Amino acid sequence: MQVVILAGGYGTRLSEETEIRPKPMVEIGGKPIIWHIMKHYAHYGYTEFFLALGYKGEMIKQYFHEYLRLSGNMTIDMASGNVTRSSTSRSDWKINLIDTGLDSNTGGRVHHLKKYLDAEPFMLTYGDGVCNVNLNQLEEFHQQNGKSATLTAVRPPARFGGLVLDGNSVSTFTEKPQIGEGWINGGFMVLENEVFNLLNSKEDVLEIDVLEKLADKGELSAFKHPGFWQCMDTLRDKRLLEKHWKEDSAPWKVWK
């Protein structure tokens, strides 16, 4: 399956970082978060990517151009100007970097990609969230259910610890990793090509014009993922992900 990653938003809630770079280029452990997302997909065998670019999209293009050009070892002969490369460790990724408009909404970006994608089901996610969902199981679940789209349902991480009270006294603090009830759309979707019939312009919103309409028709499945999931909406989220990576405890690092 081809993989679409929405990577064109302004990321205003993370303005400390996104004033100078697009949110997918904000680094975790020295690598942009979009690299982490793509490593996750590639681990499960999905290696053809379509990055839907918008705000500061040229920085994403430059990163992947330089990533290829500067990978591996090189020898520079200053006298002749010759450059030879050796021990180049290259990924088998195919990356399509597509400008989908500066102000396009999420559905508009997907609509723009129709002419580039095969007439087959495809995967889609956002360029600012990581998780450890088994993507092969997600695809199998989608195929078994036979609906127009499947999203990964996750439990939202708790942003605050809890208090255990004994009358008016605090007896202990609790650090709940997840809220005990409720599911949210964590991204990591599988969409049939027919969803393009619901998209018409750059103003379309994927979550409203596609997902909500499919839900109304009974055509949207939810693959429940009780494991790790974390979006990077705020500076606090970024610092949490960075902490996981530095402590070598990043749950989303499913690759070797």
Which pLDDT score, from 0 to 100, does residue 181 have? Answer: 53
Torsion, Cα of 12, 16, 22, 27 (10° steps):
-130
Residues (pLDDT < 70) of the chain are 87-90, 159-181
| Sequence ranges of the domains in the chain | 2-151+183-246
DSSP letter for each residue of 151-183: EEEEPPBPSS-EEEEETTEEEEEE--SB-SS--
Which pLDDT score, from 0 to 100, does residue 167 have? Answer: 67
Which pLDDT score, from 0 to 100, does residue 91 have? Answer: 79
Whole-angstrom distance between the N-terminal and C-terminal Cα of the chain? 22
| The CATH number fitting domain 2-151+183-246, selected from 3.90.1300.10, 3.40.50.300, 3.90.550.10, 3.40.50.1820 | 3.90.550.10
Q: What global pTM score does this model have?
A: 0.89
- Residue 5 phi, psi dihedral angles, 5° rounding: -125, 120
Spell out a b/e string for 179-213, using b for 16 or more CB atoms within 10 Å of the CB, else e: eeeebeebbbbbbbeebbebbeebebebeebbbee
- Residues 6 or more apart whose CB falls under 8 angstroms from that of 218 comprise 147
Spell out a b/e string for 89-102, using b for 16 or more CB atoms within 10 Å of the CB, else e: eeeebebebbbbbe
How many residues are there in the chain? 256
pLDDT digits (tens, 9 = 90+) for 144-194: 999 999 999 998 877 655 655 566 554 565 655 555 557 889 999 999 999
Tell me the C-alpha distance between 249 and 62, whole Å. 30
Tell me the C-alpha distance between 57 and 52, whole Å. 9
Which pLDDT score, from 0 to 100, does residue 122 have? Answer: 98
Which pLDDT score, from 0 to 100, does residue 213 have? Answer: 93
